[in-house]
Structure 1
């Protein structure tokens, strides 16, 4: 009996047949706009071009549908403008032939576009070190059709609504004014629903979900007992107030035995200081609490003191922290505070000011105490951040001069495009150097590289304090910007990075959508690509802080150890940026 039941594939094929049949009837009745359908075909073709990272089938179909809907809207708009200018329409016979040609050639071309686009995704997979696994063109086509038609139907509904509003307003104002007001009223209504009601619902749901997550403790993490960690019995910061990521941070890292086994020398237990959202009433209180913890643990007597920016949930990359502690034999202290428990993509939208405030208050508080110490008897003060944590860590500094006047080094990884200091430095790059890897003042102070080794192999002298930026040409977090809506970025106009496809093209609005979606699986690609920097951490820290006694071979061995023992989350949307 069960053998006679239709499978999921059978149901999908029937659904696709029904949709195609409906589209065919629309064509027959000419309920769709011919210029709109031509624009939809062109929009589909643009959407199927590669972006920075290979897209899974679901995302590929969604973006293809969005591209087709945008193309349809553009075609309808062009037709409307032509009509408004009074240009004569083609003869009826020409219009009939055009419909026949499009009704037959359009579906064939759409299939070709989808199939070729799926193959192009395989080319991107090779560029970022993945194995070939061609996406299902059938599923992509079905998803694109469903999304595209849904958006077109929504657009038509909004157009009908604006016409009704216009007719209502036409009772009191001239028709031309009423038409414009109808569009304005509906546009404002849509904006209020999307940016107000819907967004608020999303934030409220996320608050509820992630508040519960923040209250939990990762599997295998036990309360700390060492007085050198926040949350211990000796700490003024309670274990329960740290939050999920804070508890993982203070309980993590290599032990003295593990460090000694790598260095061959006696090790010191690293200091880790953290203040969670519940540790104090506000960011200023958490920053002051962190300084008190640094004082209590003797952090100002260590060789290196890192002021770290955390991502949205309060997470700091375990590989980065462990690498520093190994390199310095544990003679280190790391301090950070939490400003949100939302994932970074959402935290950026609602908590960007909090991230900036937390980064500024924490660094200023630590620096004020550090500056009181004799210059020859204080630790290296290093600023560090990954992704949204990099944005927070750079918030205290208005320029390179301001940064180098107050730190002994800085390491920023996968910096978001909206970071003011990063934008200023990148805009001032030397002529001829590309945006994806700029050269600034011949690399004397600030250096950019796609891997840690590349920081020290660049020509010229690298003066102290050293400022390093790690960024990949294929990292969507680095290259996402509101500017993508309306302007081609330099990283596409200039010579491209080695892992960016030559088939990537900029399209208004559509490229913004593509790079936005890329961020959800930026850490799912292999090390050295996208938003995954785990394999470059040892060389980067060694370049910035210059620990004594390490050979290149030993650095490589340490990186291999970290790669084997620590792994990043690999699920799309995991909060590592």
Structure 2
């Protein structure tokens, strides 16, 4: 009955709308957790020799529990369609006519059965080990050592066996695919471009994301046509994972290529940490090149071939090490240049790139001869710098769009705010976070297993459900599943960041010369319809 109650609670809404298949998987998993919790409670009850209820009393209690569980299930099944459609409407998604309750129940039952079989297999493994240990030791010791043995076996198999093998094979396969990409565009013919015959970066080893980045984006002609003023060709430098054996080698190569291309003579230089696969969002980079008339250089170094969720879990240190090496190398050289002639230096990252970029932007980058600013979009919840900023919010300001001090150093933007509203003018350094209130990558909270995240204690945001309620354990699984669904939302919601919401924050951070609010609006329109230069972006590529 506890399992059925958990299943009923799983039908309540969370941050991302769910279809019948996803809802069934979620329901089956939390049902298994509820069932396991009931079994553990019973085991403890009998282990400490608590009294058992009489048969008549236990039957009455059972009937009450069955009635409560079934009533809860009936209510949530009936209301779930309304809840999900309400969330879809707020995100501009098409509503559905049916919950497909039969499909949900079938998938949930199958998922529960699989989880039950896994649990039964582990229980049998424990019993088998315990029986063998009983030949040499008393029962209590056999129980403890048997449990420890099972835990160790699981740890070794999953962490040091299966996971390591999967990570290695994935990295090797992605590396091979990116090196031998048969449909790759030809090497750039212009010597100024990274990957050309004159470049220090080997085109064959750069990989697909890097090739696409350096060969796309607006050129001087396109920028001049938009601004009505003379423009330069933006400089884009990209170093692939296979272009160097270590993070330091790749960072040194990136610096050498920046010098070769004359990047340090530009007005603006942006050091970017890409997503897990090395992908660079055109919606983030094309607009800022327009607003600075092409007098800008951007550099990025790839650290993984894995998709961002896998890279976050399985290659945690790779992104952090590479981001730290790249920013340190570029910043240390930049500090040696005369302040009056060197470019303004900014850092940027999206999603996992934001996390690694924040890690690299340590105290040494923020004091003394510091960087000029940072723009981080969709910062993942483990990001230390983001968490520090969030917890420093002005009391009473919402968790999803907080105010930090007087706004002279740190500001926030979203699909309903552009980081222009603050009590004070910008200081010497400008930092902006772009985050959507419905983005679980940002607002997932591991502690939601036993307590509500801070944003759940506040009034619902524009694109979150008014019916969202905290439920111990169940909410944790709902938000965890939302992480996987975050890439499939319409632009401007979930983890689908796009050009229109990058533009105004970039203006706030980089302060382009002679730029007006009308220019911002013109660029938004241009990026919405200007497909010829890739300025439009419909959100983060799900494969990245």
Q: 1:417 to 1:545 in 2, by over 3 A?
A: same
Map 1:157-172 to 2 at 5 A.
157-172=121-136
Matched, 1:64 2:27: yes
Question: Number of aligned pairs?
Answer: 538
In the alignment, is the contact (CA less than 8 A) between 2:235 and 2:263 conserved in 1?
yes
In the alignment, is the contact (CA less than 8 A) between 1:288 and 1:365 conserved in 2?
yes
Counterpart selection for 2:267 from 276, 291, 303: 303
**Aligned-pair CA distance for 1:343:** 0.8
In the alignment, is the contact (CA less than 8 A) between 2:5 and 2:73 conserved in 1?
no
Map 1:44-443 to 2 at 5 A.
44-96=7-59, 110=73, 112-133=75-96, 134-215=98-179, 217=181, 221-399=185-363, 402=366, 405-443=369-407
Residue in structure 2 matched with residue 18 of structure 1 by the alignment = none
**Aligned-pair CA distance for 1:150:** 2.0
CA distance in 1, matches of 2:182, 2:209: 8
Matched, 1:542 2:514: no
Q: 1:195 to 1:59 in 2, by over 3 A?
A: farther
**Aligned-pair CA distance for 1:98:** 5.2
TM-score, L = length of structure 2: 0.92
CA distance in 1, matches of 2:296, 2:56: 81
**Aligned-pair CA distance for 1:218:** 9.1
Matched, 1:562 2:527: yes
In the alignment, is the contact (CA less than 8 A) between 2:419 and 2:508 conserved in 1?
yes
**Aligned-pair CA distance for 1:298:** 1.0
CA distance in 1, matches of 2:541, 2:272: 25
Instruction: Name the SS for the 1:226 alignment partner.
Output: coil
Structure 1 unaligned spans of 5+: 1-37
In the alignment, is the contact (CA less than 8 A) between 2:496 and 2:540 conserved in 1?
no
Greater displacement, 39-48 / 212-221: 212-221
Q: 1:242 to 1:124 in 2, by over 3 A?
A: same
CA distance in 2, matches of 1:99, 1:204: 51
Question: Larger relative CO (CA 8 A, sep 6+): 1 or 2?
Answer: 2
Counterpart selection for 1:553 from 518, 527, 537: 518
In the alignment, is the contact (CA less than 8 A) between 1:452 and 1:537 conserved in 2?
no
Q: 1:401 to 1:279 in 2, by over 3 A?
A: closer
In the alignment, is the contact (CA less than 8 A) between 1:309 and 1:337 conserved in 2?
yes
RMSD, aligned CA: 2.5
Cα deviation, 1:232-267, whole Å, max 9, x if unaligned, reads 111111211111101011011012221111111121
Structure 2 unaligned spans of 5+: none
**Aligned-pair CA distance for 1:428:** 2.2
In the alignment, is the contact (CA less than 8 A) between 1:451 and 1:540 conserved in 2?
no
In the alignment, is the contact (CA less than 8 A) between 1:49 and 1:117 conserved in 2?
yes
**Aligned-pair CA distance for 1:102:** 6.2
CA distance in 1, matches of 2:280, 2:191: 21
CA distance in 2, matches of 1:69, 1:262: 58
Residue in structure 2 matched with residue 11 of structure 1 by the alignment = none
Instruction: Name the SS for the 1:365 alignment partner.
Output: helix
**Aligned-pair CA distance for 1:118:** 3.9
Greater displacement, 527-536 / 90-99: 90-99
**Aligned-pair CA distance for 1:68:** 0.5
Q: 1:102 to 1:486 in 2, by over 3 A?
A: closer
CA distance in 2, matches of 1:181, 1:119: 50
Cα deviation, 1:370-418, whole Å, max 9, x if unaligned, reads 1122111111111111111111212223359826851112101111111
